[in-house]
Structure 1
Amino acid sequence: MELQQVSGGLHLDRTDPHGRAASIPSSLSIGSLPLFLVQTGGNSAGNGGGSHFLGAVVHAAAAKYSPVDVAVGGPHATADAHQTNAVHFDQGATQIAGVGGPGGTGNAAIGGNVSVLGPGHASDHGWIGSDVIATGGSGAGNGGDGHFLGAMINASTAIFHPINIAVGGPHASADAHQTNAVHFDQGATQIAGVGGHGGNGNAAIGGDVSISGPSQGSGHGWIGSDVIATGGNHAGNGGDGSFFGSIAHVSFALYEPINIAVAGPNSSAHADQTNTVDFNQSALQMAGVGGHGGDSSVAAGGSGTIHSSSSGLIGSDVIATGFNSAGDGGNGHFSGSLTDVSVAIYAPINIAVAGYNSTASADQINNVHFDQSAIQIAGVGGHGGDGNLAQGGDFALHLLADHHLLHVG
């Protein structure tokens, strides 16, 4: 219903949203119709959003790879040094801060429906006032929120320093073989604040307020509202999740294989080294969390019907038909620090030394896997049900005869 200012009073549009004529007077004097606020719902659908982050997210990765291969042969000697390296450093980090997040799909937030009928006959010495009538906060899908204040740091350092040396004296033979296959990942997934999630197919419904005042006789009545509200209305929910502090994942990997073959005069020395190394040092750290919510949830308020006889009085301070919330989940607060520190040092040494007229052989084979994974989750909260219903609504009062009144306050 649309209000327009006209000469001598307020004009109430006499058509409904479909263009049909409405059975309401075309004008009322301003003195008999004080209007403050009439709302038909906050109304929001899909939602999501939110997410606040203040601080620093730092990923500092350093990699050093220094292979050394040396072959030294004396007079009439043979020295062979072979080194093969396959190296992969990833040191990848996924860092997400603040977050907030998704809402639902196919949601509906509905307000609307306010009908007030004042004195309609005789002297009409009544008045109609509203401060506030609202038909639901509404809101569907929800999700959102997620606060993070602090620092998220992932610092990875990888050093790979293979050394392969073959030394042969006079008339000697020295062989040094080194083969390395190295993979450092040191990956970290760090998520802070979080929140988010919400349901699908949710509906938050307000609406439906109907008040009828005195309509016959002397009409010395009034209709007043301070406040009538038909439900807070939330559906899907989820959200929240606050984190204050720092998340740190610090990984250090040092890999220094040494392979040495030394042959004296008229001797033979062989040193073989084979290494297969995988350092992961992964960490998944989540803080604050919250989130989750239900699917296909309904939060409904609405409905409130008051009828009065002539010379009666209708007043409201406050009538509310439920705060209404469905799906829920959310919350989860964490203040402090999550720290995962992983240090991996791998230093294999393989040495073959042959004296005069001798033979020396050293063989080394290593297959190494370090994971050092950590999953750290703090604050938590979250989860909610599916197909939930939170419902308020339905309020009806009928006054009796003349000279009676209704006042809620």
Structure 2
Amino acid sequence: MELQQVSGGLHLDRTDPHGRAASIPSSLSTGSLPLFLVQTGGNSAGNGGGSHFLGAVVHAAAATYSPVDVAVGGPHATADAHQTNAVHFDQGATQIAGVGGPGGTGNAAIGGNVSVLGPGHASDHGWIGSDVIATGGSGAGNGGDGHFLGAMINASTAIFHPINIAVGGPHASADAHQTNAVHFDQGATQIAGVGGHGGNGNAAIGGDVSISGPSQGSGHGWIGSDVIATGGNHAGNGGDGSFFGSIAHVSFALYEPINIAVAGPNSSAHADQTNTVDFNQSALQMAGVGGHGGDSNVAAGGSGTIHSSSSGLIGSDVIATGFNSAGDGGNGHFSGSLTDVSVAIYAPINIAVAGYNSTASADQINNVHFDQSAIQIAGVGGHGGDGNLAQGGDFALHLLADHHLLHVG
């Protein structure tokens, strides 16, 4: 849309780019120009959505597993007890909340160009007010912010207590075999308040602005404060991550198999026990982490050109083509805690008893792994990207021979 200065106000071209009539006034009074009269910026493309979470997850799981295997033989008999257990307890808890979406790749958000033509003669005062032309403020491929307010509580209990017994009388044999392969998964993972990563190869560029003022005249204060804003563009920046909450992880595991072989006089008793056990009671908290900045993004302010000779032409901060950012890592904010209390009890018993003139043997093999670690990654800013460009737009001011043309407040 083209703006032209006419007697008593600004003339607005009432046709669109296709030549169709537009339902807008034919002129506006120069003394009543609103803020942001021309707005072609503020565009967005491929930005990740923000995420906000308010709530809690409470996980309290309980499991009990205690099989019993008994073999009893009389005199001159054979008693065999075999027990094989392969058990997996999955009581883990995972919370992923308040995570901003990642920015896209190869997007462009560009403000439209604006051209303003003033009159050949000027006597009006304050022809353009504050914040009249805004072609910047566009964003492309930025990661969304992640906000989390809540808690995660994980309290899990698992009990595993198998018993294997073989009993033989006189002149008998007793064999007890027990094999256990058990996995306890009571870990807790919380990923919350994490900003999305910025995308790659995006462009956010403010539109160019050209203003031609009066060639002669006695107008004063023709351009006010912050009239032209082509900067403030953002491309490929990582989103901010903010976390306020806590994780409480309390896990309890009891594992106590018993293997017994008993034989009378002139007998044999043999007890075998093999245990392979894994206790995973770890806790991981990743919260308040800023997203990484993307690579090869461009954020540039549009160019500005002004031709005029009006007295008192420019006020304070008239041209703003800077404040562009590209590939910046997001900020990380964390306020909370991690509480991890893990208890694991492992006490297998292997017994072989034989009477007079007998043989007794007891074999026990244990392979046990306890993971009760706690890891907290919180309040971490995202890495900046590589190969990004943030550039202020060019500005050219052409003044004719007149005094007091530039006023900086």
Seen in structure 2, the aligned counterparts of structure 1 residues 206 and 124 have a Cα distance that, compared at 3 Å, is: same
Q: 1:114 to 1:365 in 2, by over 3 A?
A: same
Identical residues among aligned pairs (%)? 99
Q: 1:43 offset after TM fit, Å?
A: 15
User: Contact 1:127–1:221 (CA<8 Å) still a contact in 2?
Assistant: yes
Shift, 1:214, TM fit: 0.5
Counterpart Cα distance in 1 of 2:408 and 2:245: 48
Does the 8 A contact of 1:132 with 1:225 survive in 2?
no
Residue ranges of structure 2 left out of the alignment (5+ in a row): none
Deviation at 1:331, TM superposition (A): 17
Q: Helix, strand or coil: the match of 2:31? A: helix
Q: How far apart are 1:219 and its partner, in Å?
A: 8.7
Q: Quick check: 356-365 or 377-386, which moved more?
A: 377-386
C-alpha spacing 1:309/1:181, structure 2 compared with 1 (3 Å): same
Question: 1:118–1:127: 8 Å Cα contact kept in structure 2?
Answer: no
Q: What is the CA-CA distance between 1:234 and the residue it aligns to?
A: 1.1
Change in 2 beyond 3 A, CA 1:400/1:24: farther
Matches within 5 A, 1:9-158: 31=31, 51-53=51-53, 57-62=57-62, 95-100=95-100, 123-124=123-124, 127-128=127-128, 132-134=132-134, 136-137=136-137, 144-146=144-146, 158=158
Task: Give the Å deviation of 1:263.
Answer: 1.7
Contact 2:223–2:318 (CA<8 Å) still a contact in 1?
Answer: no
Q: Give, in whole Å, the separation in 2 of the partners of 1:251 and 1:128.
A: 68
Bigger mean CA offset, 81-90 vs 294-303: 81-90
The answer (yes or no) to whether the contact 1:118–1:223 under 8 Å persists in 2 is no
How far off is 1:161 after superposition?
0.8
How far off its partner does 1:51 sit?
3.4
Secondary structure of the residue aligned to 1:201 is coil
Contact 1:148/1:192 (8 A) holds in 2: yes
Distance 1:185-1:384 versus aligned 2 partners, 3 A rule: same
8 A contact 1:245–1:337 mirrored in 2: yes
1:227-258 C-alpha deviation (Å, 9 max, x unpaired) = 96514511561239999999999999996634
| Greater alpha carbon shift after TM alignment, 15-24 vs 38-47 | 15-24
Over 3 Å counting, the alpha-carbon distance change for 1:267 and 1:386 in structure 2 is: same
- Contact 1:269/1:354, CA 8 A, preserved across alignment: yes
Distance 1:274 1:187 in 2: 25
Q: CA deviation at 1:266?
A: 5.7
Shift of 1:260: 1.4
Name which of structure 1's ranges 43-52 and 28-37 shifts more when overlaid on structure 2. Answer: 43-52
Worse-superposed segment, 334-343 or 18-27: 18-27
Q: Relative to 1, partners in 2 of residues 1:32 and 1:144: Cα closer, same or farther, differing over 3 Å?
A: closer
CA shift, 1:305, in A, is 0.9
2:319 maps to which residue?
A: 319
Name which of structure 1's ranges 101-110 and 182-191 shifts more when overlaid on structure 2.
101-110
- The answer on whether the counterparts of 1:32 and 1:126 sit within 8 Å (CA) in structure 2 is no
3-state SS, counterpart of residue 63 of structure 1: strand
Q: d(CA) in 1 for partners of 2:122 and 2:243? A: 65
1:389 Cα deviation after fit: 0.2
Q: State how far apart, in whole Å, the 1-side matches of 2:341 and 2:107 are.
A: 44
How far apart are residue 262 of structure 1 and its match? Answer: 1.6
Query: TM-score by structure 1 length?
Result: 0.45
Q: Which range moves more in the overlay, 101-110 or 21-30?
A: 21-30
Report if the CA contact (8 A) 1:136-1:302 is conserved: yes
Moved more, 381-390 or 339-348: 339-348
Change (3 A) 1:210 1:22: farther
Aligned pair in 2 of structure 1 residues 35, 44: CA closer, same or farther (>3 Å)? closer
CA RMSD between the two structures: 13.4
SS state at 2:84 partner: strand
Q: How big is the shift at 1:291?
A: 3.6
What is the rounded CA distance, in whole Å, between the counterparts of 1:68 and 1:46 in structure 2? 61
Q: Residues 37 and 31 from structure 1, CA distance in 2 versus in 1: closer, same or farther, beyond 3 angstroms? A: closer
Q: 1:36 to 1:257 in 2, by over 3 A?
A: closer
Aligned-partner Cα distance in 2 for 1:42–1:187? 45
CA contact (8 A) 2:90 2:184 kept: yes
Task: Sort the Cα spacing of 1:257 and 1:22 in 2 relative to 1 into closer, same or farther, 3 A.
Answer: closer
Q: Do the aligned partners of residues 374 and 92 (structure 1) sit closer, same or farther apart at CA in structure 2, a change above 3 Å counting?
A: same
Answer yes or no: is the 8 Å Cα contact 1:241–1:291 preserved in 2: yes
In structure 2, relative to structure 1, the CA distance for the partners of 1:132 and 1:335 (3 Å cut) is same
What is aligned with 2:365?
365
Deviation digits for residues 173-214 of structure 1 (CA, Å, limit 9, x no counterpart)? 999999999994532425368434679999999899784511
Task: Kindly indicate whether the alpha-carbon contact (under 8 Å) linking 2:40 and 2:112 is maintained by their aligned counterparts in 1.
Answer: yes
State the distance in 2 between where 1:122 and 1:267 align.
Answer: 123
Q: In 2, are the aligned partners of 1:106 and 1:201 still within 8 Å (CA)?
A: yes
Could you tell me which runs of 5 or more consecutive residues in structure 1 were left unpaired when the two chains were aligned. none
Residues 35 and 191 (structure 1), Cα distance of their counterparts in 2 relative to 1, 3 Å cut: closer
Using a 3 Å threshold, how does the CA distance of structure 1 residues 219 and 26 change in structure 2: closer, same or farther? farther
How far 1:133 moved relative to its partner? 1.6
Aligned residues: 409
Is the 1:100–1:143 contact (alpha carbons within 8 Å) kept by the matching residues of 2?
yes
Partners of 1:37 and 1:130 within 8 A in 2: no
> Matched residues in 2 for 1:268 and 1:243: separation?
65
CA contact (8 A) 1:308 1:314 kept: no
In the aligned structure 2, how far is the partner of 1:38 from the partner of 1:83? 82
Closer, same or farther in 2 for the Cα pair 1:345/1:330, shift >3 Å?
same
Structure 1 274/32 Cα, relative in aligned 2: closer, same or farther at 3 Å?
closer
Whether the aligned pair in 1 keeps the contact of 2:310 and 2:405 (CA below 8 Å) is no
**Secondary structure in 2 aligned to 1:159?**
strand
CA contact (8 A) 1:155 1:249 kept: yes
Name the CA distance, whole Å, in 2 between partners of 1:290 and 1:252. 34
Q: Secondary structure at the match of 2:81?
A: strand
Deviation at 1:299, TM superposition (A): 3.1
Q: TM-score, length-normalised on structure 2?
A: 0.45
Distance in 1 separating the partners of 2:260 and 2:25: 105
Deviation larger for 102-111 or 89-98:
102-111
CA separation in 1, counterparts of 2:312 and 2:75? 124
